[in-house]
Amino acid sequence: MKILSAHPIEARVRERIMDELSAIEARHEVKILFACESGSRGWGFASPDSDYDVRFIYVHSLDWYLNIEKQRDVIEVPISDELDICGWELRKALGLLGKSNPTLFEWLDSPVIYRQEDWLCDELQALKAGYFSAKKARWHYLSMAKNNFREYLQAESVRLKKYFYVLRPLLATQWIDSRADMPPMRFADLAQAMLADQSALAEEINQLLAVKMSAGEAEYGVRFPRIHAFIEQTLAQEVAETSAPRPLAQLTSLDHLLYKAVLADAA
């Protein structure tokens, strides 16, 4: 069964996002190398009133990297009525890639891109497999699933969006267990792959998606029985962890990429 999916980015909002990215560059004297949509619009199950979660990677001028004192390596824009914009400095982002940070892997797999330096993204895509740790990613997603289930899905009436904050990481954990690879960002791709032989569950997930995509973010409703049973059953199974993590690639390639990007901006 085909799982419902949509990545609604209104033209007026895209234009506003592009203007805001340019304003950030001018205000902070940086160059944005990559910007994408994260969150529910990137995952493919946004509500009509979902925020636009814009995430970006930026680089400073050469002088910033020659300063002895540690400086702030995050840019955060106050959340507006619909925009949530945050970015990481390139050295920070590459350091997190070297530590197999699942959030950064998701950014690089986003189906909605606002800005990108093609050469940088090509190199990041070529390098990222060498830094992926199945054990770290599995712990990240399984912890997310357990925490959200415990915090939000215990009552008879639940906030419906929270089902996806348990389902998606739980399916991601299963993907990692079966493939030892980073799961896809799009929920539809993940669900179709992992639930190919569970048509009744997939059908109920589509029913939930239809509600989520038409209702507000704060919508509550009664439990979805098959989904709830699947979550409880899967969490109770305590799936064995993946084998010991394989050694990650050396950081030399990331050092070289940082050097290249900083000098390119200085040229």
- Any idea what the Cα angle at residue 203 is, between residues 52 and 236, rounded to 5°? 85
pLDDT above 90: residue 238? no
> What's the CATH number where 84 sits?
3.30.460
107 and 178 co-located in one domain: no
Cβ contact 98:90 at 8 Å: no
pLDDT above 80: residue 239? no
Whole-number pLDDT of residue 91:
96
Whole-number pLDDT of residue 246:
56
213 and 158 co-located in one domain: yes
180: alpha, beta or left, given left = phi > 0 and alpha = psi -120 to 50? left
170 and 108 co-located in one domain: no
In terms of DSSP H, where are the helices of 110-186? 118-128, 134-152, 164-179
Whole-number pLDDT of residue 250:
79
Whole-number pLDDT of residue 247:
52
Cα 62 to the chain's mean position, in Å?
A: 29
Q: pLDDT tens for residues 116-174?
A: 999 999 999 999 999 999 999 999 999 999 999 999 999 999 999 999 999 999 999 99
Among 47-51, 79-83, 88-92, the range with the most confident prediction by mean pLDDT is 88-92
DSSP-derived secondary structure for 26-37: HHHT-EEEEEEE
Which tokens sit at 231?
């979550």
Confirm whether 1 is domain-assigned. no
125 and 256 co-located in one domain: yes
CA distance 23 to 75: 12
pLDDT above 90: residue 248? no
Q: pLDDT tens for residues 21-43?
A: 999 999 999 999 999 999 999 99
pLDDT above 60: residue 240? no
CA distance 164 to 39: 11
138 and 127 co-located in one domain: no
41 and 122 co-located in one domain: yes
Q: Which domain holds residue 16?
A: 11-132+250-266
pLDDT above 70: residue 234? yes
Residue linked to tokens 């990331």: 254
Residues of the chain above pLDDT 70, percent: 95
- Tell me which residue of 230, 148, 140, 243 sits closest to 182, measured CA to CA: 140
Confirm whether 174 is domain-assigned. yes
Q: Report the domain count for the chain.
A: 2
Residue 17, phi then psi, degrees to nearest 5: -65, -45
Whole-number pLDDT of residue 264:
86
Is the whole model's pTM more than 0.85, yes or no?
A: yes
pLDDT confidence band for 237 (50 / 70 / 90): confident
Cβ contact 193:187 at 8 Å: no
Whole-number pLDDT of residue 217:
87
